[in-house]
Structures are given as structure tokens and as C-alpha cells.
Structure 1
Amino acid sequence: MPHHVQRSIDSPLRTGLTRTQLWEAADQGLIKCWEIGRQRAERFPDLAQRCLAGELPVLGWKGGVSRSLKKNEKYGSLKYLAQWQGLRGEDLDIDLAEERSLTCSRTKMKVTFTPDRTKYFNQVAEVEA
């Protein structure tokens, strides 16, 4: 199993793959999340601009923030990080064995993206109002 998932922004979007190939391969679905981010950047340029400005908007995976919480830090999914990189038009670059922290430029919330699902699985879900 690779510990580092990387893909160039110049890579074409993949087609014709099965659900198992997309979500259960060695990359754990990170490439698909990144590709979804690239597609969303085309459809939602305002969202892409927010990501480029360092915001961590609420997306389909745990990790986004819509407001500051009492506890100024939380955990997020590597799938969120992959989609965020795609939205920013960046190369996919995620180490499956390491945590990576980012601070939202708008809310100042620190989010640590982790491969350990137990760290974010039981957090209170944040719903966009």
C-alpha cells in the first residue's frame, strides 16, 4: 500500500472505473475526491476562490468550518483535504501516514487532517445553516 498519494493537476480525469476501483483501491478514494474537487472548481468558481484564499468551507467530508467553535481546533478527513486540493487547482499530494494541519483564513479554526478516522468520527457534525 502506498503511503503517499500524488497526482499531477495536468492528469486527465479518470473514466470507466468501477466503484471498487474508485473508492477501495490503495489510494482509499483520495484521487476520486481530488477529481471531484477539480470538477467542482469549474462549476463553482466562487467556492474555488474561497479555497484559494485559504478558507476551509464545508464540503461533503469532515474538515470544513462555517464558523468558529468554542474549541478552536478540530479534526478532518484526508478525503476533505484531497477535495480541497482539487478545488484549489493543486496537484494531489497526501501522505497516508501523516497528519496535516491547516488554519481557515476566515474563521481562524485549525483543522488537522488525519488518517485516523476515530479522531473525527465522533466529533459533533457541523451543518451549514
Structure 2
Amino acid sequence: MTQRIHRSIDTPLRSGLNRTELWEGPDKGLIKCWEIGRQRAARFPDLAHQCLTGELPVLGWKGGVSRSLKKLEKYGSLKYLAQWQGLRGEDLDIDLSAERALTCSRTKMVVTFTPDRSKYFNQVADVEA
């Protein structure tokens, strides 16, 4: 069964919700991550441009890459994918039951965004030096 989270980019940002409503609802916080991405796009146009050109910059969730690693593939969080879609000015469109692979245009790293936290939780972090 598909568990798809979708919101149009034309949808106004939500307000007045508590922490539980934002992070622990059926969308698992993905809408909030996407809204944060939309807000950051306005504040950080260079970051939004990186995302629009297919880069996967380091953000607050696992999934971004600052450099190529020996192993050219890694896993990332669906929360990263949601924020990235917001930064790009795209509709939020994530299937909670599926993985989605993207290749960073700058580093050529392949990041597979997955609902399975165990796949990315203990992998070596890619941190800006």
C-alpha cells in the first residue's frame, strides 16, 4: 500500500501547530521539513540554486554530501528529501513506503533516501571539514 505524502507548492505554510502535530503526525514531520526548505530557499538563494542544479548539499538531516567518498553510494533520510524538495520550490511528493535514489550533480555520489532509519543511522557521517 502506498503511503504518499503530497502537498502543492502553492499551499500556504502552516501555523499554530504544536510539536506533536508538526513532528509525530501521519506525515512523520515531512511537511515541516519541506516548509523549512521553502523558508530557507527565500533566505539562502545560493543554497536553493545548488539544489536546483541537482546538488545534494549538507543540510540538517542525513543525505547531503560535501565531497565524494570512496564508496560512491550512501543512504539518506526522507526528511532530507522533503527539505530538498522545498529548497527547490517543488511540491512535496514522498512515498513513505519506497526508497528513492538521487545522484549529486557535483560529487556524483548516489544517495538512496529510505524510510528505513537503520540503513543510514550508523553509516559514516559526511561532515564539512
Q: Give the partner amino acid of 2:32.
A: K
Write out per-residue CA displacement over residues 4-46 of structure 1, whole angstroms, 9 at most, x where no aligned residue.
0000000000000000000000000000000000000000000
Match of 2:125 in 1: 125
Match of 1:13 in 2: 13
Q: What fraction of aligned residue pairs are identical, expressed as a percent?
A: 82
- Taking the aligned partners of 1:113 and 1:3, their CA distance within structure 2 comes to 15
Task: Name segments (4+ residues, structure 1) moved above 6 Å.
Answer: none
The TM-score normalised by the length of structure 2 is: 0.98
Runs of 5+ unmatched residues, structure 1: none
Count of aligned pairs between the two proteins = 129
**CA RMSD in angstroms, aligned pairs only:** 1.1
The TM-score normalised by the length of structure 1 is: 0.98
Write out per-residue CA displacement over residues 66-120 of structure 1, whole angstroms, 9 at most, x where no aligned residue.
0000000000000000000000000000000000000000000000000000000
- Taking the aligned partners of 2:37 and 2:59, their CA distance within structure 1 comes to 10
Match of 1:53 in 2: 53
Question: Does structure 1 residue 33 correspond to structure 2 residue 36?
Answer: no
Match of 1:42 in 2: 42
Match of 1:67 in 2: 67
Q: Which range is displaced more, 92-101 or 119-128?
A: 119-128
Secondary structure of residue in 2 paired with 1:112:
strand
Q: Give the partner amino acid of 1:115.
A: P
Runs of 5+ unmatched residues, structure 2: none
